[in-house]
Structures are given as structure tokens and as C-alpha cells.
């Protein structure tokens, strides 16, 4: 019952934060359309998905921390999945400053933040998922 309540309340908090964040993003988009100042919208559109991805992984991390095991960082997962997804999630902000970056012209032409938002969620999740206990089965694989 304790586990059910923890997961239920975690889901409720994540849902409320998601709703408030999306509401704020819509307000920023409307304000940027009026004032022609895109910087606050682009900063929020780049950072909020990363924070949301962190929130999605946080309940499981809390459960893993309670086990009190030794921790390690999975650099391979972070470099192969995390770094590219961070780059894609920051494209709206990077495209605001320069158009000479890889994929930045495609972002400007599309003008949509869905792809970059998904990449930000992936980065936030992978960032916390890269923290693994030394006893987990994925760290014991030998290649």
C-alpha cells in the first residue's frame, strides 16, 4: 500500500507540474508573439523538457537510493544517448544565436518544438538513469 501511494502521489505531482509548465509555455509563446522577444520562450522550451525528464525518473531513483548501494555513472549511456539528445533539445536556443550549427537550419524551417521537447525529456531521463548501483545487472554485462 505504501508503494502504491508513493507512485500515485508521484504521478499526481508530475502531472500537475506538467500542466503548469505547459500553461506557462503557452503564455510565453503568446507574449513572444506580441513583443517579438523570443528569448524567454526559447529558454523555457529548451529547459522545461529536461526538467520534466528528470521528474519522470526521480521516483524510481528515490526507491533505488533507499536500497543504499554503491553508485556508479554509466558514461557509455550518457555519451551515446544523453549528449546527442541534449544537443537536439538545446537547438531552439542555439538556433536563436547562430544558424551554422548541425540541424539548426532544419529547426528554423520547421519552427516546431515537439522534436526538441522529446529529446529534452530523453536527456533528463537518461541523466538520472545513468546513475546505477554497482550491483545492477546492466553494469555486469561484458562486451
Distance of CA 80 to the CA centre of its chain: 15
State how far the Cα of 139 lies from the Cα of 69, in Å rounded to an integer. Answer: 13
- Strands 71-73 and 131-133, bridge-based pairing: antiparallel
Q: pLDDT (tens digit, 9 = 90+) per residue, 41-93?
A: 888 888 999 999 999 998 888 888 887 777 888 889 999 999 999 988 888 78
Residue 105 has pLDDT above 70, yes or no: no
Residue 112 has pLDDT above 60, yes or no: yes
What local confidence, expressed as pLDDT, does residue 139 receive? Answer: 47
Specify the higher pLDDT residue, 38 or 113: 38
How much of the chain is in helix, strand and coil states, percent to nearest 5?
Answer: 75, 5, 20
112: closest CA among 136, 133, 88, 131? 88
Distance of CA 45 to the CA centre of its chain: 11
- DSSP letter string, 2-32: HHHHHHHHHHHHHHHHHHHHHHHHHHHHHHH
Domains in the chain: boundaries = 2-133
What local confidence, expressed as pLDDT, does residue 15 receive? Answer: 92
Q: What is the mean pLDDT of residues 88-106?
A: 73
State how far the Cα of 65 lies from the Cα of 67, in Å rounded to an integer. Answer: 5
State how far the Cα of 123 lies from the Cα of 111, in Å rounded to an integer. Answer: 21
State how far the Cα of 95 lies from the Cα of 114, in Å rounded to an integer. Answer: 15
Amino acid at each position: 500500500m505504501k508503494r502504491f501511494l508513493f507512485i500515485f502521489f508521484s504521478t499526481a505531482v508530475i502531472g500537475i507540474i506538467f500542466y503548469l509548465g505547459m500553461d506557462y509555455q503557452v503564455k510565453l509563446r503568446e507574449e513572444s508573439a506580441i513583443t517579438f522577444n523570443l528569448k524567454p520562450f526559447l529558454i523555457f522550451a529548451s529547459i522545461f523538457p529536461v526538467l520534466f525528464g528528470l521528474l519522470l525518473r526521480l521516483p524510481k531513483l528515490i526507491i533505488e537510493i533507499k536500497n543504499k548501494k554503491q553508485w556508479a555513472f554509466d558514461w557509455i549511456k550518457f555519451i551515446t544517448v544523453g549528449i546527442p539528445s541534449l544537443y537536439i533539445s538545446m537547438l531552439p536556443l542555439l538556433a536563436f544565436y547562430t544558424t551554422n550549427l548541425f540541424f539548426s537550419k532544419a529547426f528554423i524551417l520547421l519552427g516546431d518544438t515537439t522534436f526538441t521537447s522529446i529529446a529534452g525529456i530523453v536527456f533528463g531521463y537518461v541523466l538520472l538513469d545513468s546513475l546505477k548501483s554497482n550491483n545492477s545487472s546492466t553494469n555486469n554485462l561484458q562486451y
